[in-house]
Every structure is written in structure tokens, then in C-alpha cells.
Homo-oligomer: A and B are copies of this chain.
């Protein structure tokens, strides 16, 4: 007889188990850092831009030389030559002089602004006529206008996306210290399981859970160790758990929905760690086990794929997020029920739904049905104290 606790109590127990724990950090290259969480503030060590640059095609000038110029009375400056892209201006320009410059070109000493090409004329030898005055720093991005040394450019804990890459590249940062992705070992148990590459003989079924749980974990910022199929033998399971504890941060064992098989898992956890709960008032998911074994958190998940999936969503992902995983996150949508949902008093219930035009229609399936997940648009979590929901009542749908 399972001594069940509520989902709320179970989640609390799970999160307490990893209080203060972390997976550590590692350096990740710029080309592989999308979706990773940075472990330290990124502080600039440089000026960006590293020199004052023209933002237009035109002529670099000293602004005061252009004051008062107009279409009728242009300023007349001596053209000193051209600054090529990527080159430093060797000479300083003096009062009354100007130098041809392209967008992005480095401003020479003595110049503080740029006149746009269209406001000039250079028909006369060595002379440049300026028809429009510019102010100091007009058409110029000054050294350090973007970033100066010491400025924090990306905050610790930020999850990197493409919008951050430009700034990291500009600072020459090609290795970024990030939170390590939690490693999760996935063990499937059951004498009835065969690898998914096989055609199952009578009495046997394919090992769905390893592939399914691995996918859920990968989607939610974790690395996976596939520990394979273990037969219903205490010695084998204990050995597999021990190896998994060495290779991972968290262990998931699915399968063994029969009372005998569940007890085996609970026994091993008890003998090599501590069993924190065995049974939750959640539907699906009642025979869920959790504890610490060989020093690592271990979940004994139900064998039914849908149950294993939802227990993982409700409890395993929060634990992994606390350890530093960047979870995919769940989009929610409000909808109205298209029919009544009877009370499930005392148990939290997860009901799959199809969504259409703001209407949520529950999709029910027998125990172990795999197509349920694939064909639903999302799921509704019904609180254990709920007395039942009526047609047209508003519900929050967690989208897949």
C-alpha cells in the first residue's frame, strides 16, 4: 500500500533535495553558446569602437572650419588625400584641411566630424567645397561611444541568444563561462522491454520511455546518458544505479509499474541512500518514487509513457532547473472547457486537451496510451481540491 503525498509536498521535497547544489561551470565556444546560461558577468575590457569612426561617406574635417558655410557661400578646404578602409590615418589634418573618408573609416587626428559626400564638391584641383556646416562629432561614432572598459555588458545568469553574439564578438570573447548542463541518466526497467530497433516478440514491447524521456530532457537544457534496459533483478538494478550515479547528476528509472518491481526500486534506494517518498496523489503518476541513492537524486517513474512524461514535467524539470538547466518553458493559453470534467477529489489530475478556437476538449485514453501526448495540443492541471469543472468553465492550458 503506497503512502501517497500531495504533488505540492512532493515538489517541495524534490526541490529541498538539491538545495544549494549546482552542476558547476564550463567554458563554451561562441559558436556553441546559444541557449546557454552565462555563469559570470561579462565585463568589457576594451573601447568599442576602438577608434573614432565615420558613419558616412564624406570628408573628415574640423567642424569649426565649416561654420557659416552654405550653398551660396561654401567653405573651401584643402583636400589632403584619402583614408582607406582598415588603415590608420598617418597624418594629422590641420586647420583648413580635409581628407576623404568612407563609412567606418578611422578619423584622423585633427578631425572631429565628417561632412557627407552629397554636401561637397571636389571639381577643383586639391580643393573641396563644403556646402553645409557640421557640428563637432557629427557623423562620427567616437571611440568608446558604444562600450568602455569596465562596463558590464551581459549580466550573469543571462541565457544567450543571437542578440548577444554581436557584443561578445566585438569584444573578441570566443570562450564564455557558462553553467554546466545537468547530466541525467535514464534507465528503463522491465523484462518485457526490447530496444526500439527490434520487432517485439509476443509479450514484449519496445522501450519507449528511454527515447521519450531523453527527448524531453534534451529539450530542456540537459545532457543525457542512456543507461539502457535493465531486467527486473535487484543485483542488476543496483549495479546500474551505482554506475549512473558516477556518470550523472540525476537519475531517472522508469518502468516497473507492477507492485513488485516498484518495491525493488524503493528497496535499493532505501538501502543505499534515503527514500523520500513512494507514491504521490497525482493522476497519472501515482506510483512515483523519489529519493537519494549513491549520493544522487533518483526518480522512480511509472512505466506508462504518459505518466512518466507528466511526472517528469511536474517534478523532474523543476529539480533540473534548480540545478541550472535552461528549461524550454511552457506557454500557457486560457480556454473554455467544451464539456464537464468530473471531480478527482484528493488527487491532482493532468488532463490532455485538444484546443480549437479557444475551446479545450479533454482527450482521454486508457492507461498506457502513447498517442495521447502526440495528438493533444496541451494539458490542464486540475487541483486536488477541485470539485469538478463544468462546460464553458475557464481553464489554463499548458501548451506542448
Contact = CB atoms under 8 A, between A and B. Distances in A.
Contact of A211 (B51, B153, B169, B261): B169
A85 B202 CA distance: 11
Nearest to A366: B141
Interface in A135-157: 141, 145-147, 153-154
Contacts of A164: 373-374
A200 B166 contact: no
Interface centre among A106, A260, A367, A374 (most CB of B within 10 A): A374
Given A208-B166, A258-B104, A259-B57, A190 B31 contact: no
A106 B203 contact: yes
Interface in A319-375: 365-371, 373-375
Contacts of A51: 202-203
A400 interface: yes
A103 B258 contact: yes
Contacts of A55: 366-368
B204 A258 contact: no
Nearest to A219: B162
Contacts of A170: 205-206, 208, 305, 370
B212 A305 contact: no
Interface centre among A167, A196, A203 (most CB of B within 10 A): A203
A261 B198 CA distance: 59
Interface string A198-225: 1111111111111110111011000000
A232 B165 CA distance: 25
A85 B191 contact: yes
A34 interface: yes
Contacts of A371: 48, 146-147, 153, 167
Interface centre among A163, A193, A215, A365 (most CB of B within 10 A): A163
Nearest to A216: B162
A309 to B, nearest CB: 7
A161 interface: yes
A257 interface: yes
B257 A190 contact: no
A124 to B, nearest CB: 22
Contact of A374 (B50, B154, B210, B258): B154
A96 interface: no
Contact of A215 (B162, B219, B305): B162
A367 to B, nearest CB: 4
A88 interface: yes
A146 B370 contact: yes
B193 A373 contact: no
A309 B165 CA distance: 11
18 contacts: A48-B370, A51-B203, A86-B190, A88-B203, A103-B257, A104-B192, A104-B258, A105-B192, A105-B203, A146-B365, A146-B368, A146-B371, A161-B215, A161-B400, A163-B376, A164-B374, A166-B370, A172-B197
